[in-house]
Homo-oligomer: A and B are copies of this chain.
Amino acid sequence: MSTDNFAKTPKPPYYAVIFSSQRRAEEAGYGTTADRMVELAAQQPGYLGVESVRGNDGFGITVSYWQSEEHILAWKRNAEHSLARERGRNEWYEHFELRVARVERAYGGPAIEDKIKE
C-alpha cells in the first residue's frame, strides 16, 4: 500500500489551500525550493498535511491543509515562503490559481485500516 501521498487530516472543519499551477520549462532552483517549502510548511503551527502531484505537461495541484485561516495567513507571512512565492511568480510559473477553502465534510475509501488488517 502506498498511502504516503495522502494527508492524514482530522475531522472537519479545517482549511484547505488549493494551489493549481502551470510550470515553465525554467528549472533553476525550483526542485530545491519546492522541497524546502514542504519541509518548512510542515513545521508551521496549524499545519495538518499536504497532497501534491504534477503531470508531465507541467500542470500541478498542491493542496495543503490547515487548522484555521489564521494559520494560513501566518504561513503566508513567513519570510522564506514569501521569497519563494516571489520567485515562483517571476520565474517558475506560467500561471497559477490559489483558492482558500473551508473543508466541511470528508470521507475516504476503500478503508486503509481494513486492508492493512488483511
Residues of A at the B interface (CB closer than 8 Å) are 1-3, 5-7, 9, 12, 16, 18, 20, 22, 51-61, 63, 69, 89, 93-110, 112
Known: A16-B99, A99-B106. 4 other contacts (CB 8 A): A2-B94, A5-B57, A6-B97, A20-B63
Judged by DSSP, the binding face of A is: strand
The closest CB in chain B to the CB of A111 belongs to: B95
Which chain B residues border A1 with CB–CB below 8 Å?
94-95
If the complex has contacts A6-B20, A89-B109, A105-B99, are A59 and B53 also in contact, measured as CB distance less than 8 A?
A: yes
CB distance from A1 to the nearest CB of B (A): 7
Q: Kindly list the 5 A-B residue pairs having the minimum CB-CB distance in the complex, ordered from nearest.
A: A101-B101, A5-B59, A99-B106, A97-B108, A101-B103
